[in-house]
Amino acid sequence: MWWKNATVYQIYPASFKDSNGDGIGDIPGIHSQLDYIQSLGVDAIWLCPIYDSPQHDMGYDVSNYEAIYPPYGTVEDVEKLIAACHARGLRILMDLVVNHTSDEHAWFQESRSSLSSPKRDWYIWRPPRLDAAGQRRPPNNWRSCFGGSAWAWDEATGEYYLHLFAAQQPDLNWENPATRAAIYAAALEFWLRKGIDGFRVDTANTYSKHTSFPDAPVSNPAHEYQYASPLFCNGPRIHDYLREMAAILKKYNAMTVGELPLTPNPADVLAYVSAQESQLDMVFQFDIVELGTGPDMRYHTTPRNWTLPDLKARVQATQALMDGTTDGWSTAFLENHDQGRSISRWGCETTPSLWSASAKLLCILVTTLSGTLFLYQGQEIGMVNAPLSWDIDTEYKDVESKNYYAFVRASSSSSSSSSALAAAKSALQHLARDHARLPMQWDGTPHAGFTVPDATPWMRAHDNHPDINVKRQTLDAHSVLSFWKKMLSIRKAYPDVFARGVFAHVDPEDERLFMFEKRGEGRRVLVVLNFRDEVQEVRLEGLLGGRYELLVSNNVEIGEGEGMSMHVLQPYEARVYLV
């Protein structure tokens, strides 16, 4: 299994590299950077959706699985990219978005055309409910993941359709075997036959719904629609569907990594990833990336309201799946296209040296964890969130951010609105999905070298790109980029401890230091992370025993053996000892 010790580099096509000056990243742009990608030491790439789409949710609303969104390129461009990756020994994964399609997909167009359409049942249609006043209401009180009712009214046929995400993303009806067969043919086999190596499976646990569509408990009486995710995640037939899909993937020896929201219980996760179950090879658990998000609404929170023990417990939740007693497998990651940048969330941006130290500390954290490692574009150069000074209305593009901001604006009275909007802005500046979607920072030229100087990029490049960019860091042996390359090669050299070792906390309650051990075959490592911007004292002798070696440190002086004090950790200092 090639993927157990592998590192996968995630690419957000719109923001990676623009090859033709229209301000939108594209497939030829990705192709042109394969040398760079390979220089990192990764084994595979994962492309976020590139299928044809009206882009209400950046391609997670697919209007044709067998065509490419024209600004990204053509099917032929993808065939060339697959061949170029394979010629270099890089694998290539695509995104599989099959919980829903776009409302512009031909299947939905047909489905909505009449009550008797042969494809009516390919989506989830329900008649209205009537309230006490005889007014038409949605079939239940579910809130969609992007706000508002999860049901949209269709005037022409007099029914509602379900959309767990935007109204332009109607949910497919997986209960219907003909629908499933069509999904497998168009979304899976069309691309598997072209030689892709697997899929990242979008919202992998939402396909099976409770067909009675019960109301969600009223957690927020002031709101019309309620948080309903527990009712639509991990539904009654989900494991049957995934097993059926896995049988097809198996014919092509394709690997899968499923997105697994709202599944905090390890036993429930194991039901998806246990090798014996043959459903998904691994999953993205949400424990870590959800730290600090609002429980009812993701952005209804204040930045940095997390504690280190909380972070540790969430790291452990995934690591525990790979403790040697199960046949399960999972992933290690801190970033993706749906999250704020990790340095902005858990590191420090106040000075260049703390930025650099904390970027490397987070690099050590994630590269020493068990599971298949996922690295998100720009993470390797320490990209950070857009600044607070950026205007939400003009600079943020994501449907989720926009809807939330509009919701807060609409639901706060004029007297409370400025403070409510300021709170929403501060949460969005911390957690919005937009931050990960800023153009990749290639160099210090206008638009960070993502596109030509006179183009208008689809999202503004970060103001800090003259300081934080690939070109500058490539030349610097002590840069964040050089550190990532080093850590990826160390991870490769000790796969038994890093990629699949057994994780154990040293002191899970310690509020200042995150220390853990990874046990491999006849050796172990001790990872020491100072999560504070101040100097800390630490006693390591008892943990290290007699024979040990400092494998890596983010403190250059220590790495070179100068001025080292084993007992003093500098702000955001991070070390890995081999014992």
Query: Interface residues for ligand GLC in 322-361 (CB under 6 A)?
Result: 337-338
Q: Residue 178: name the closest of 120, 135, 235, 126 by CA.
A: 120
Left if phi > 0, otherwise alpha if psi is -120 to 50, otherwise beta: which for 328? beta
Query: Quick one: which H or E segment has residue 357?
Result: helix 352-367
Q: Residue 15: name the closest of 27, 26, 25, 29 by CA.
A: 25
The answer to whether the beta carbons of residues 338 and 399 sit under 8 Å apart is no
Query: Quick one: which H or E segment has residue 283?
Result: strand 282-285
Shortest reach from residue 22's CB to Ca ion, in Å: 4
Shortest reach from residue 23's CB to Ca ion, in Å: 7
203 binds ligand GLC (CB under 6 A): yes
Pick from Ca ion, ligand GLC, none: which does 323 bind, CB < 5 to 8 A by kind? none
Q: 444-458: b or e for each residue (b if 16 or more CB lie within 10 Å)?
A: eeebbbbbbeebebb
For residue 570, give Cα distances in angstroms to 278, 479, 486.
46, 18, 21
Q: Name the residue nearer to ligand GLC (CB basis): 289 or 525.
A: 289
Pick from ligand GLC, Ca ion, none: which does 22 bind, CB < 5 to 8 A by kind? Ca ion
Longest dimension (CA), the chain: 79
Q: Which of 6, 11, 14, 24 binds Ca ion (CB under 5 A)?
A: 24
Shortest reach from residue 170's CB to ligand GLC, in Å: 12
Question: Which of these is catalytic: 77, 202, 398, 400?
Answer: 202
The SS3 assignment for 576 reads strand
Binding letters toward ligand GLC, positions 244-283, x by CB under 6 A: ---------------x------------------------
Pick from ligand GLC, Ca ion, none: which does 290 bind, CB < 5 to 8 A by kind? none
Pick from ligand GLC, Ca ion, none: which does 259 bind, CB < 5 to 8 A by kind? ligand GLC
Left if phi > 0, otherwise alpha if psi is -120 to 50, otherwise beta: which for 438? beta
Q: How many residues bind ligand GLC (CB under 6 A)?
A: 9
Q: Which of 20, 109, 176, 426 binds Ca ion (CB under 5 A)?
A: 20
Q: Which of 44, 97, 269, 317 binds ligand GLC (CB under 6 A)?
A: 97
Unique residue bearing structure tokens 């799946």: 321
DSSP output for 402-458: HHHHHHHHHHS-HHHHHHHHHHHHHHHHHH-GGGGGSPP--SSSGGGGSS-TTS--S
Dihedral, 403, 405, 409, 410 alpha carbons, nearest 10: 10
Query: Quick one: which H or E segment has residue 79?
Result: helix 75-87
Phi, psi at residue 20, to the nearest 5°? -125, 15
Active site residue 202: yes
Query: Interface residues for Ca ion in 528-547 (CB under 5 A)?
Result: none
Pick from Ca ion, ligand GLC, none: which does 60 bind, CB < 5 to 8 A by kind? ligand GLC
Q: Name the residue nearer to Ca ion (CB basis): 21 or 236.
A: 21
The SS3 assignment for 84 reads helix
323 binds Ca ion (CB under 5 A): no
Shortest reach from residue 145's CB to ligand GLC, in Å: 7
Q: What is the DSSP letter of 143?
A: B
103 binds ligand GLC (CB under 6 A): no
Q: Name the residue nearer to ligand GLC (CB basis): 62 or 526.
A: 62
Unique residue bearing structure tokens 């100068």: 562
- CB atoms under 10 Å from CB of 30, counted, come to 27
Binding letters toward ligand GLC, positions 150-179, x by CB under 6 A: ---------------x--------------
End-to-end alpha carbon distance in the chain: 28
Pick from Ca ion, ligand GLC, none: which does 20 bind, CB < 5 to 8 A by kind? Ca ion
Question: Which of these is catalytic: 77, 103, 259, 380?
Answer: 259
Query: Interface residues for ligand GLC in 483-542 (CB under 6 A)?
Result: none
Q: Which of 18, 171, 202, 434 binds ligand GLC (CB under 6 A)?
A: 202
Pick from ligand GLC, Ca ion, none: which does 18 bind, CB < 5 to 8 A by kind? Ca ion
In whole angstroms, give the CA distance from residue 433 to residue 211.
31
Query: Interface residues for ligand GLC in 21-80 (CB under 6 A)?
Result: 57, 60
Active site residue 259: yes
Residue nearest ligand GLC by beta-carbon distance = 60
Q: Which of 3, 10, 15, 18 binds Ca ion (CB under 5 A)?
A: 18
For residue 227, give Cα distances in angstroms to 133, 146, 284, 298, 423.
25, 11, 22, 11, 21
Pick from ligand GLC, Ca ion, none: which does 287 bind, CB < 5 to 8 A by kind? none
Q: Which of 4, 5, 22, 506 binds Ca ion (CB under 5 A)?
A: 22
Pick from Ca ion, ligand GLC, none: which does 44 bind, CB < 5 to 8 A by kind? none
Q: How many residues bind Ca ion (CB under 5 A)?
A: 5
The answer to whether the beta carbons of residues 3 and 255 sit under 8 Å apart is yes
Instruction: Indicate which residues carry an active-site annotation.
Output: 202, 259
Instruction: List interacting residues with Ca ion (CB under 5 A).
Output: 18, 20, 22, 24, 26
Instruction: List interacting residues with ligand GLC (CB under 6 A).
Output: 57, 60, 97, 165, 202-203, 259, 337-338
